[in-house]
């Protein structure tokens, strides 16, 4: 028993001594294991979310149309008609809007050659949709001198560009002017 007392006394003396010096008794702690480095893991492949399909209409320019006029027939005053000097003539033509543009109030008919025979040298072109026929009328007054007279007319677009077939009035003036 003496040995047991001796071990207890030594332990007690160690505690008292450590208290006197201000040191804190330390207990044995095993070292912290260092984790081993793992090989890097590749990043997880995550598909990017697919945006919902949105249909955005492509900007569309107004497609350019083309102007064209096709002469179909003379409706009144056939070419070479004998008329009296000073006679009032109502000339009519059947034409077709054979282009892809619709004719509106900005389309005109203009005198391109020959005498105007008292008609306005610029007239409104009958409004007509593409692919339809139209009747054009111009009022003329026959010249007072005998002879063969012809004037040519043509359609023009809003910018003044001529297009299509030209159409004509051709009359033979003879005799004295009509009595009013």
Q: What is the pLDDT of residue 116?
A: 97
Write the pLDDT tens digit of every residue in 82-139.
Answer: 999 999 999 999 999 999 999 999 999 999 999 999 999 999 998 999 999 999 999 9
Q: What is the pLDDT of residue 40?
A: 52
**Other beta carbons within 10 Å of 91:** 24
What pTM value is reported for the model? 0.63
Domains, the chain:
69-174 (2.60.40.10)
- Residue of 82, 93, 89 whose CA lies nearest to 148: 82
Give residues with Cβ within 8 angstroms of 68, minimum separation 6: 97, 98, 99, 163, 164
Judge contact between 142 and 130, C-beta under 8 A: no
- What is the C-alpha to C-alpha distance for residues 84 and 180, in angstroms, rounded to an integer? 12
Write the pLDDT tens digit of every residue in 35-51.
Answer: 555 555 454 544 555 55
Write the pLDDT tens digit of every residue in 22-37.
Answer: 555 455 455 555 555 5
């Amino acid at each position: 028993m003496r040995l047991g007392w001796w071990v207890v006394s030594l332990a007690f003396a160690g505690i008292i001594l450590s208290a006197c010096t201000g040191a804190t008794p330390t207990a044995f702690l095993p070292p912290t294991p260092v984790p081993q480095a793992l090989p890097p893991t590749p990043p997880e492949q995550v598909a990017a979310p697919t945006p919902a399909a949105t249909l955005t209409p492509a900007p569309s320019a107004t497609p350019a149309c083309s102007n064209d006029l096709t002469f179909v027939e003379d409706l009144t005053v056939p070419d070479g008609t004998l008329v009296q000097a000073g006679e009032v003539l109502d000339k009519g033509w059947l034409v077709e809007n054979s282009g892809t543009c619709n004719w509106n109030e900005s389309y005109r008919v203009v005198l391109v050659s020959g005498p105007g025979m008292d008609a306005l040298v610029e007239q409104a072109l009958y409004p007509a949709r593409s692919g339809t026929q139209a009747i054009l009328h111009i009022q003329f007054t026959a010249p007072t001198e005998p002879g063969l007279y012809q004037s040519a007319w043509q359609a023009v677009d809003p910018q003044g560009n001529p297009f299509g077939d030209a159409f004509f009035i051709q009359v033979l003036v003879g005799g004295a002017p009509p009595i009013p």
